[in-house]
Amino acid sequence: MNSASMYDELRQKAQEASQNAYCKYSGFAVGAALLTESGQIFTGCNVENGSFPVGICAERVAFSKAISDGHRSFKAIAIYGGETSCPPCGMCRQFMSEFCDDNFEIILNDKIYTLKKLLPVRFDFKS
């Protein structure tokens, strides 16, 4: 499968995942589809909570599912939040940086960014 068709599949799966979002407070449904180096796709949706800090973003749900199944190497993630671009929040960008290199691809509708572009300086214990 070529990159373009893989990205289309990720976009579609992210959109489908957004339909499972639990977003009764914001009404803003987000879905994510994460591609592992081995070619598996893990999806996630945002899950809100009345105690706002307890909620979790779609991106971290997808990563957590993959990580809990033993995956540690990732190629790309598509994020869907409707027709407008939905870039990952700062917490999700930092979370991604724990497991992904600077060239990890983040697909937002029709644009593709690298993690380095969206998080030029990351926190790590080495710095």
On the CB side of 31, CA atoms within 13 Å amount to: 20
Catalytic entry in 16, 37, 59, 105: 59
Taking the C-alpha atoms of residue 49 and residue 62, their distance in angstroms, rounded to an integer, is 18
Q: How many CB atoms lie within 10 A of CB 41?
A: 18
Please indicate whether residue 37 is annotated as part of the active site. no
At 79 the three-state DSSP class reads: strand
In 12-125, beta strands by DSSP E: 31-36, 41-45, 74-80, 105-108, 111-114
> Annotated active-site positions, please?
59
